[in-house]
Chains A and B, each alone.
Chain A
Amino acid sequence: MRNFTLTAAAAVATMLASGSAWAGKDLDAIKARGSLVCGVGQGTAGFMMADSTGKWVGLDVDVCRAVSAAIFGDSEKVKYVPLSSQQRFTALQSGEVDILSNNTTQTLTRDTALGLDFTAVTYYDGQGFLVPKKLGVKSAKELNGATVCVAPGTTTELNLADYFRAQKMTFKPVVIEKVDEVRAAFFSGRCDVYTNDSSSLYATRAANPPPPLKPEDFIVLPEIISKEPLAPAVRHGDNQFADIVRWTQYAMVEAEEYGINSKNVDEMLKSENPTIKRILGVTPGMGKALGVDEKWVYTIVKQVGNYGESFERNVGMGSVLKIERGLNKLWTQGGLQYAPPIR
């Protein structure tokens, strides 16, 4: 119901909003407000989750922190708004949040008909299936007739239907809006399978089985049935803000590529390498072109870290999830993370 209220409110907001508020003024509005409103999910360990002190942490949260660092020089000027998969687009369209960073898959319709602009991909993901070990299933091809728990309004829901149609198999969906409730339904045995982006499945497996169930009681099946490039999204209409979000992500990847991290960033200021000098704003120009402070990358790396640091801390070996870098390795190491040059 809350979801419906919000959707309705957003629709009313679209009806009432005055024209000028949309015309490329998002950045001005953010600056005037003095904080960035960041739409995150309802809690996926490693990606966006409030920790024991109520502070939001995760890979997606770091994107918002980095953007805040670029705009304000302070990574903590962010207000987080947890959104369900169904609320998120309306919330962004109506201006309730400035940026959506909640494991949203970039697709053509979302990029066009929904009025969103996706920036750089923060995580290359793919959809998988989580099953209890005792089910004895080894492959997704054996799932004919299964009952599947899935969150509504996602690409996941559509891929699931596509996959089963392509394999000429049938399934029964159990579609619940709140992520916690979907997971609870899966763990209670209401469904045979829980499907989501595989990153999220690892997070669920690591953090959510209710005792006495243990993470080892569940396996993620080997099949990856879709491409899920997860990227932050902003509204159509303010290209400068979209640029800042896009290049913030690139800057974190670029920093990793050139070995700049939160610990050595001060020494790196003295580097003679012209690329590093340009990235860190020792040679000015890049910040001005983007419309932010010349020290933007320095601030991002100092306060948030480079992409590799953020990955390891939140979802990689430094976290409970222990997800391999895989596709998200730098291109120099055989992965897909490739940032255009900052010059």
Chain B
Amino acid sequence: MAVEALGSQTKAKVPPWNDPVIRGWVFQIVVVALVGLLAWFLVSNTIENLQRQKIASGFHYLEREAGFEIGDTMIQYSPASTYARAIFVGLLNTLKVAVLGIFMATVLGTMIGVGRLSPNWLLAKICEAYVEMFRNVPLLLWLFLIYKLISEAFPGPRQAINVLNSFFLSNRGLYFPVPLADPAYEWMGIAFLVGIVATVFVARWAKKRQDATGLPFPTIKAGLGLIVGLPILVWLACGAPHHMSWPELKGFNFDGGMVIQPEFTALLVGLVLYTSAFVAEIVRSGILALHKGQSEAAMAIGLSRGQVMRLVLLPQALRIIVPPMTSQYLNITKNSSLAIAIGYPDLVASVNVTINQTGQAIENILIIMAAYLSVSLSISAFMNWYNKRIALRER
């Protein structure tokens, strides 16, 4: 009774502008309204300005013929293709460099990071020098340097460095033979995927058995056998097709085979060298964050130095490593837009040319932002999922 009376009294006493609940609501409504107003102002003002200047707007241009050529394409593309396809070609090129870059930077960075902790003085110092050298110079300069090295140091196509008459290295890139298309290769691809899935199951079974009986199983060797062996068996079963497309000097350049272009190489190498220096530091910090007792205990039960690292330290360090690693992966993806400086046809390059030919900067920038945002959010989502999976489970 008394409590109720007190409660209603306090309620009556507080005027609405002092009530934290009401005030909270009012503030939120005001902020949302302001943001909405700002957005409305930006959109309507933009449309008005575009109309006044008679600048075309809308996304119809995407269906028009692009008219420009792209030097490095993963899918069929010609100047007769649409702007939409040109932008898609650019996006694929960005993804190609980002995915390869992430993979290679992780491997190299982990090696350097672990190397820096090595008791071998020389190895540790070399790794340290590597890290300091690559992370303290802007990426753009590395890209210029690597690109200049490739285009200046290698000879022209007519004087190409010839290895076994099949690999040709020149300032046009590295040309090498590839097998001619054959249905066998599709089956080999399927066999490869089957091999990966089988390896996952074998690994699970092996872990279960080791947990139960303590008997180790050579998972890595078995996995390699499955992933490499299965496709080879399929290849043999299909009659071992071996017709190749060989690069050949025709006129100005090589024809046939496959080529890795200097622009792509320069961008990939630059991104990997630069980012791996950061990855190395993240890996090192992750390992150093573990208590010394962990490695001492592992050594005490007789594990080798490699096993200590692989079985005890790295799995624990991963929990510390993964979150900052996500940022590095995002950095690689976004830094790949520096491609424009050395002429690799990435997403930004395609969109920039489109802006210039159509004059529709706003629409194109929206496209570029949406593309990078979705790629980055996908990477983040995957890494967050992985982070949760390896997180310490409290039992």
Contact = CB atoms under 8 A, between A and B. Distances in A.
Interface in A270-302: none
Contact of B69 (A85, A109, A173, A190): A173
Interface in A139-160: 143-147, 152-154, 157-158, 160
A170 B353 CA distance: 20
Contacts of B355: 7, 86, 90, 153
Contact of A237 (B53, B252, B255): B53
B253 A153 contact: no
Interface in B334-368: 337-338, 340-343, 345, 348-349, 352-353, 355-359, 361-362, 365
B49 A19 contact: yes
A158 to B, nearest CB: 5
A113 B343 contact: no
A165 interface: yes
Interface in A172-219: 172-178, 181-182, 184-185, 188-190, 192
Q: For this complex, into which size category does the number of interface residues on chain B fall?
A: 35 or more
A235 interface: yes
Contact of A3 (B45, B48, B70, B352): B352
A135 to B, nearest CB: 8
B19 interface: no
A258 interface: no
A23 B48 CA distance: 12
Contact of B253 (A147, A173, A174): A147
Q: For this complex, into which size category does the number of interface residues on chain A fall?
A: 35 or more
B252 A189 contact: no
B171 A146 contact: no
Given A161-B79, A190-B151, A15 B362 contact: yes
Nearest to B153: A188
B45 A115 contact: no
Given A86-B356, A181-B343, A114 B52 contact: no
Contacts of B68: 157-158, 161, 173
B335 to A, nearest CB: 9
A236 B252 contact: no
Contacts of A172: 69, 71, 253
A171 interface: yes
Contacts, number: 166
B79 A178 contact: no
Contacts of B52: 19, 22-23, 237
A17 B352 CA distance: 22
A189 B49 contact: no
Contacts of A266: none
Contact of A145 (B54, B250, B357, B361): B250
B156 interface: yes
Contacts of A158: 67-68, 79, 357
Nearest to B369: A8
A236 B45 contact: no
Interface string B70-88: 1100000001100000000
A116 to B, nearest CB: 8
B182 interface: no
Contacts of B42: 15-16
B356 A173 contact: no
A3 B171 contact: no
A86 B352 contact: yes
B161 to A, nearest CB: 14
A61 interface: no
A191 B234 CA distance: 42
Contacts of A236: 53-55
B79 A85 contact: no
A327 B114 CA distance: 68
B340 A1 contact: yes
B46 A165 contact: no
Interface of B: 42, 45-46, 48-50, 52-56, 67-71, 79-80, 140, 148, 151-152, 156, 171-172, 250-253, 255, 262-263, 337-338, 340-343, 345, 348-349, 352-353, 355-359, 361-362, 365
22 contacts: A1-B140, A1-B338, A4-B352, A11-B361, A22-B49, A109-B357, A109-B359, A114-B56, A144-B251, A147-B252, A147-B253, A153-B357, A158-B357, A161-B67, A162-B79, A173-B69, A175-B343, A175-B345, A177-B340, A182-B343, A188-B148, A192-B253
Given A153-B355, A162-B67, A237-B52, 6 more contacts: A8-B365, A22-B49, A115-B54, A152-B356, A172-B69, A175-B353
Interface of A: 1, 3-4, 7-8, 10-11, 14-19, 22-23, 85-86, 89-90, 93, 109-110, 112-115, 135, 143-147, 152-154, 157-158, 160-162, 164-165, 171-178, 181-182, 184-185, 188-190, 192, 235-237
